[in-house]
Structure 1
């Protein structure tokens, strides 16, 4: 599993496309095209799966359930994606998520909850990922 993060509009998706040579035959699930959908293994295909905008899927979870259930659901999804990936050696799941931790703390409780949950979710993701990259202005820094 590969986690790619960084600031909004810093070139994360472009970097992933270039790094992996993404084509139309790869599975690219984006919250920007398919809102309110958390992909499970039945929606994954091919050898490369890219899940873009996970912070928005996490936000949907925070609106529907409490923190504990949200974290359990997130960890369950990570397990599903990880199991799907390990079924065949050539499979890779790439998860792209925007870093929400920088800047001013939001005033609205909903937004603070989303920011907190996203931070915890990214910690969980980083723990299970084989590789983690931060993208700033189109340049990557490999963290793991």
Structure 2
């Protein structure tokens, strides 16, 4: 698993396309295109899957559930995805999430919960990932 994060509009998508030589429409599941949170990939017969907009899926979870349940659901998905990836040697899961955890703490409780859950979820995915990159201004910094 490869986790890519960084600020909004900092070139994460372009960097992934360049590094992995993929077309956005080949294997791409994007919350930005209103794709629902994929629970598992059992019906997808691809070797590479790219998930984009993780922070939006997490926001949807925090609108419906408290932080504890949102994290439980997230970790269940993460475990399913990890199992899918490990089922075949050539499989690769690439996960892109915008970092919303820096800056001013939101005034609204629902936005603070979303920010907190996103921070915890990113820690969870970073722990499971073989590789983690932060993208700023189109440049990557490999941190794992």
TM range (shorter): over 0.9
Runs of at least 5 residues in structure 2 that lack an aligned partner in the other structure:
none
**Which residue is 1:102 aligned to?**
102
CA deviations on 1:66-119 (whole Å, 9 max, x unpaired) are: 111111111100001001111111000000000011111111111010000000
**Which residue is 1:82 aligned to?**
82
**Which residue is 2:73 aligned to?**
73
**Which residue is 1:46 aligned to?**
46
**Which residue is 1:92 aligned to?**
92
CA deviations on 1:25-79 (whole Å, 9 max, x unpaired) are: 73100011124x1112135331110000000000000011111111111110000
Equivalent residues of 1:30, 1:52 under 8 A apart: yes
Equivalent residues of 2:31, 2:54 under 8 A apart: yes
Work out whether 1:138 is the aligned partner of 2:138. Answer: yes
> TM-score, normalising length from structure 1?
0.95
In 1: Cα distance, 2:105 partner to 2:5 partner = 19
**Which residue is 1:30 aligned to?**
30
**Which residue is 2:18 aligned to?**
18
Equivalent residues of 2:17, 2:24 under 8 A apart: no
> TM-score, normalising length from structure 2?
0.95
User: Which one is further off, 63-72 or 19-28?
Assistant: 19-28
| Alpha-carbon shift at residue 9 of structure 1 (Å) | 0.2
In 1: Cα distance, 2:89 partner to 2:134 partner = 25
In 2: Cα distance, 1:96 partner to 1:43 partner = 21
